[in-house]
Amino acid sequence: MSHDPNCIFCKIVAGEIPSRKVYEDEELYAFHDIRPQAPVHFMIIPKQHVASLDEATAEHAPLLGRILTLAPQLAREQGATNGFRTVINTGPDGGQEVYHLHVHVMGGPRPWKVG
């Protein structure tokens, strides 16, 4: 499994940086965002280092499918029972700040910042 020793999300997966874990299995890790923009705001990341969605290939399709099918289950478990939003920031113009593929899942009672 690919790991970037300089990547903050790889360090979170390795337990080198603390996080508020939501979920973990052999391929995926989910944790609360440190700057939440909604009452429910967590991220799902692959444990394998993939820098961005732009670098995903056909071999990543099953992993991406798992992320997107896990999102609703975790959103409900975290309290987003009336819908949620998923966001994948990709590249500098897409607002990506951490170059490790991650899916934001946001929900909960509105109003909350959309942006």
Question: Which amino acid is located at 15 in the chain?
Answer: G
Asked whether the beta carbons of 45 and 64 are under 8 A apart, the reply is no
Q: Of the listed 41, 49, 100, 102, which one is catalytic? A: 102
Rounded Cα gap, residues 87 and 110, in angstroms: 17
Whether omega before 46 lies within 30 degrees of 0, making that bond cis, reads no
Q: Is 60 a catalytic residue?
A: no
Q: Which of 77, 98, 100 is nearest to 29 (CA)?
A: 100
Strand order, beta sheet including 40-46: 21-24, 28-32, 40-46, 103-107, 84-87
User: Which residues are catalytic, by number?
Assistant: 102
